[in-house]
Chain A
Amino acid sequence: MQYALIYHETAAELARRDNDTSAYWGAWDAYMGAMGAAGIMRGGAGLLPPTTATTLRIAGGEWQVEDGPFADTREKLGGFVVIEVADLDAALAWAARAPCAGAGSVEVRPTLPPPAA
């Protein structure tokens, strides 16, 4: 089954990208490298911080463009991957290894099956 692992990080954890650079990226590189070596990665991306986000809504045909993410939450979306594993337990095991599992959270969601032909 395919699952999206959606990584949420606290503001303090996100700040480590700048103030604890080598430890932060070392941990993520090792984690992503282990998933790559396991041959389970199907896609995904890391994201620049929420301050770089632009949110668009269309109301009554009008564009409403705002600075920032769509919702200002305590934990920030830091990135996501899509993995192919046998079951939820296997997906949770990989989620538990994420550096943000102990400093934020990891949402695990099955992906939609492809539309029937």
Chain B
Amino acid sequence: MTPAASAAHRAAEAAARTAYGRLVALLARDSRDLAAAEDALATALARALARWPDDGVPANPDAWLLTVARRELGHRRARAATALAAEPALALLDDERADTPAPDLPDERLKLLFVCTHPAITPRIQAPLMLQVVLGLDAARIAAAFLVSPAAMGQALVRAKARIRDAGIAFAVPPPEQRPARLAAIRTAIYAAYGAGWGDAAPTGNDLAAEALFLARLVTGLAPDDAEAAGLLALIALCEARRPARRDAHGAYVPLDRQDVRRWDRDLVREGEAALRRAAAMGQPGRFQLEAAIQSLHHQQRFTGADLSLPLIGLYDRLLAIAPSIGAAIARAAALTAAGAAAAALAALDALAERCRDHQPWWAARADALAALGDGAAARDAAVRAAGLSQDPAERAFLLGRHAG
């Protein structure tokens, strides 16, 4: 590849990554036709790759792409309407050569996020839809993270886009009385994208984690008054900060209490802590802020060596009061074990037994509580059961070794 061609490639790729959602939002805002907007943008990106190496990268690549994609959309409509394919080719060429003015393109991505998470869209397709139309991920990659077949994911996305177009879901910011619930739907979808593929809390996460982090940053930028959005960003940033430390040099799983804190990503820790402070200052506590605060306490415990298990249990109690979940209840029991109250932990776990028969974290927490109570044989059985329910080879090996012999 010549230097000019590779520069054009890089510019087109950068435009695709950073501007995809912004351009889709602008292209679909009036027609509500996301599929057509994406097709037109794909055509524009292909044309950019063909032309920029010779013509040079335009001063405002986004505006260039928008112009070409809009023209493409217009042609498609004209073709559909009149079946006439005669194109004003010279005008097209002029348009693309013209030094496109560089207006400040409005950022309509918040409206796009509201559309993707509209109550009329099936909840389970909201996160995949967001990943596709805001970030341009292909259906196969999304399908892999959500553990469904690419064909099924592709069909579900096509159906959701047709529904947006045909049901007339508006590209609009919802009225104030609906805004909190609609913002909550956006956060839920981002969290689902982050959690997709984690299965039973496998330690690796999935390759959508970076995308979820991007979306969380985006929402805090677009809705800076939303404390829970900042809480979600804090939670994802703090969890992602630990990713480099979750495996040792041999690929073996390392639990939080044994991780090398020097391998945590300092920038993400700072970003998460700053987001948590911003959220707390708004005085609207919520589920994601509490979960982020729990991660933050875990970090402080590791950084300072202080025993913060009692405040941790307090945070879990508050979390369970506003957002009860199996995961939080099990985590609270694990905190009880860590605080030296293994008998209470075991009792709390027993109360969940009915719903947790095939739930890996429950068996792992049970193994630790039993081991703390000195029942080695029962701890070993529970750890083996947890290993049998794990989807992650490193975690499985860790659990099999945890209470062995």
Binding site for B on A (CB under 8 A): 23, 26-27, 29-35, 37-38, 92-93, 96-97, 99, 101-103
CA of A102 to CA of B400 in the docked complex: distance in angstroms? Answer: 17
B147–A30 touching, CB < 8 Å: no
Give, as a whole number of angstroms, the nearest-CB distance from B124 to chain A: 11
Q: How far is the CA of A4 from the CA of B126 in the complex (A)?
A: 31
- The one of B357, B388, B397, B399 in contact with A97, judged by C-beta atoms closer than 8 angstroms, is B388
Contact assessment for B385 and A33 in the assembled complex, using a CB-CB cutoff below 8 Å: yes
The distance from the CB of A51 to the nearest CB of chain B, in whole angstroms, is 25
How distant is the Cα of A86 from the Cα of B358 in the complex, in angstroms? 14
Given contacts A30-B400, A99-B396, contact A38 B387 (CB under 8 A): no
Given contacts A30-B387, A31-B388, A34-B389, 5 further A-B contacts (CB under 8 A): A27-B397, A33-B385, A99-B393, A102-B392, A103-B393
Contact with A along B127-147 (1 / 0, CB 8 A): 000000000000000000001
Q: Most B CB atoms within 10 A — which of A26, A33, A93, A103?
A: A26
Q: Note all chain A residues with C-beta closer than 8 A to B147.
A: 92, 96
Q: Does B227 contact A (CB under 8 A)?
A: no
23 intermolecular pairs with C-beta atoms under 8 Å apart: A26-B384, A26-B387, A27-B393, A30-B384, A30-B387, A30-B388, A30-B399, A30-B400, A31-B387, A31-B388, A32-B388, A33-B384, A33-B388, A34-B388, A35-B388, A92-B147, A93-B199, A96-B147, A97-B389, A97-B391, A99-B393, A101-B391, A102-B392
Kindly state whether residue B289 has any CB partner on chain A within 8 Å: no
Q: Which residues does chain B contribute within 8 Å of A93, judged by CB atoms?
A: 199
Residue of A nearest to B389 (CB): A34
Within 8 A of A (CB), among B291-340: none
Assuming A34-B358, A38-B357, A96-B147, is B400 touching A26 (CB within 8 A)? yes
Whole-angstrom distance between the alpha carbons of A88 and B393 in the complex? 23
A82 to chain B: closest CB distance in Å? 18
Taking CB atoms, residues of chain A closer than 8 Å to B117 are none
Instruction: For B391, list chain A residues within 8 Å (CB).
Output: 96-97, 101
Is the beta-carbon distance between B384 and A96 smaller than 8 angstroms? no
- Per-residue CB contact flags for chain B residues 391-405 toward chain A (1 = under 8 Å, else 0) read 111001101100000
Q: Which of B349-397 contact A (CB under 8 A)?
A: 357-358, 384-385, 387-393, 396-397
Within the complex, the shortest CB–CB distance from B270 to chain A, in Å, comes to 34
Output the least CB separation between A44 and chain B (Å): 15
What is the number of residues of chain B that contact chain A, defined by CB distance less than 8 Å? 17
Instruction: Give the Cβ gap from B311 to chain A, nearest Cβ, in Å.
Output: 35
User: Which residues of B are found within 8 Å of A27, using beta-carbon distances?
Assistant: 387, 393, 396-397, 400
Pairwise interchain contact B199-A30, C-beta atoms closer than 8 A: no
Q: Is the CB of B199 within 8 A of A23?
A: no
* B400 x A23 contact (CB < 8 A): yes
Q: How far is the CA of A62 from the CA of B400 in the complex (A)?
A: 51
B396 in contact with A30 (CB, 8 Å):
yes
A32 and B399 alpha carbons, distance in the complex (Å): 15
Separation in Å of the B356 CB from the closest CB of chain A? 12
Q: How far is the CB of B158 from chain A (nearest CB, A)?
A: 20
Whether B199 contacts A96 by the Cβ 8 Å rule is yes
Check A23 against B397 for contact (C-beta < 8 Å). Answer: yes
Q: How far is the CA of A29 from the CA of B385 in the complex (A)?
A: 9
A37 partner, pick from B199, B385, B387, B399, beta carbons under 8 A = B385
Nearest A residue (CB) for B363: A34
Question: Considering the chains assembled together, what is the distance between the CA atoms of A34 and B393 in angstroms?
Answer: 15
Within 8 A of A (CB), among B110-168: 147
A93 and B147 alpha carbons, distance in the complex (Å): 9
Smallest Cβ distance from B196 to chain A, in angstroms?
13
B358: which A residues are within 8 A, CB to CB?
34, 38
Task: Please give me the residue from chain A that is nearest to B381 by CB atom.
Answer: A33
Give the CA-CA distance A83 to B14 in the complex, in Å.
48
CA distance A66 to B395 in the complex (A): 41
Minimum C-beta distance from A78 to chain B (A): 16
Say how far A17's CB is from chain B's closest CB, in angstroms. Answer: 16
Q: How far is the CA of A35 from the CA of B389 in the complex (A)?
A: 8
Complex: A103 Cα to B391 Cα, angstroms: 12
Within the assembled complex, what's the spacing in Å between the Cα atoms of A99 and B395?
Answer: 11
> CA of A30 to CA of B393 in the docked complex: distance in angstroms?
12
Give the CA-CA distance A95 to B130 in the complex, in Å. Answer: 28
In the complex formed, the residue of B with least CB distance to A36 is: B388
Q: How far is the CA of A103 from the CA of B394 in the complex (A)?
A: 12
Least CB distance, A105 to chain B, in whole angstroms = 13
Alpha-carbon gap, A82 to B371, bound state (A): 34
Q: How far is the CB of A46 from chain B (nearest CB, A)?
A: 15
The answer to whether B400 touches A97 (Cβ under 8 A) is no
Contacts of B385 in A (CB 8 A): 30, 33-34, 37
Chain B neighbourhood of A99, CB < 8 A = 393, 396
Chain B residues closer than 8 Å to A31, beta-carbon distance: 387-388
